[in-house]
Amino acid sequence: EEYSHIQGTRWNKNVITYRYLIGRYTRDLPRNTVDSLVESAFSIWARASSLTFVRSHTRSADIMVEFVTSEHGDLYPFDGPRGTLAHAFGPGLGVGGDTHFDDDEHWTAGETGFNLFVVAAHEFGHALGLKHSRNPASLMYPTYRSPRANLISSEDVANINALY
Ligand SMILES: CNC(=O)[C@@H](NC(=O)[C@H](CC(C)C)CN(O)C=O)C(C)(C)C
Ligand SMILES: [Ca+2]
Ligand SMILES: [Zn+2]
Ligand SMILES: [Zn+2]
């Protein structure tokens, strides 16, 4: 789900930085696989818009990416295996844009478990300010669906370009 009621509606810049909280990677996948799946999820939005995403190694990144379980320091504890898979805060300072993945899930790069690329693409939509869509073809549909060819719909492209 998205918590944009806490944050603003959009970033006031086109270059958006992200970083991982070191030590908060999942053990389901090699680190470089996590890095490339996350990079691919960002590139979906970069290709659809005028936004660019830069990985940062300093404290000041816009979007902090981490894998956490249960109670993890915000008001939205995760719920163990299945159920909620991840959440992201809408654009803004501090927690704004931060994206948390439930590490009680089995994260994969394929068809089994939950595909990290698919979930990250959805979450980064929220981190950019998008809300859920009732259109099942949309990346912002609130229920997980396994990876498919064209993940992003024309509605998603229209929505991100209406915002930026
Ligand atoms: C398998 N479990 C689900 O399909 C669950 N949905 C999610 O975990 C959403 C993320 C998916 C769409 C990647 C939560 N969300 O909206 C985050 O921004 C439930 C539908 C059970 C809530
Ligand atoms: Ca869960
Ligand atoms: Zn969502
Ligand atoms: Zn959280």
Measured CA to CA, the distance from residue 1 to residue 3 in angstroms comes to 7
Query: 66-101 burial, b if ≥16 CB within 10 A, otherwise e?
Result: bbbbeeeeeeeebeeeeebbbbbbbbbeebbbbbbb
Position 13 scores a pLDDT of 94
140, 133 in Cβ contact below 8 A?
yes
Return the ligand number nearest the Cα of 87.
1
CA distances from 76 to 62, 116, 132, 140 (A): 20, 20, 18, 20
Give 125 Cα–ligand 3 centroid separation in angstroms: 8
Q: Out of 2, 111, 123, 155, pick the active-site residue.
A: 123
Q: Tell me, what's the ipTM?
A: 0.99
Whether 123 is catalytic: yes
Q: Which residues line ligand 1 (CB under 6 A)?
A: 1-2, 82-88, 119, 122-123, 126, 142-144
Question: Chain-wide mean pLDDT for the chain?
Answer: 93
Which residues of the chain carry a pLDDT beneath 70? Answer: 1-8
Give 23 Cα–ligand 1 centroid separation in angstroms: 24
Task: Work out the percent of the chain whose per-residue pLDDT is above 90.
Answer: 87
**pTM of the prediction?**
0.95
User: Using alpha carbons only, how large is the chain's radius of gyration in Å?
Assistant: 14
pLDDT tens digits for 12-54? 999 999 998 877 789 999 999 999 999 999 999 999 999 999 9
> Where do the DSSP E strands lie in the chain?
15-20, 52-55, 63-68, 86-88, 99-102, 107-108, 114-115
Q: Which of 143, 148, 151, 152 to mutate to test the pocket of ligand 1 (most atoms within 8 A of CB)?
A: 143
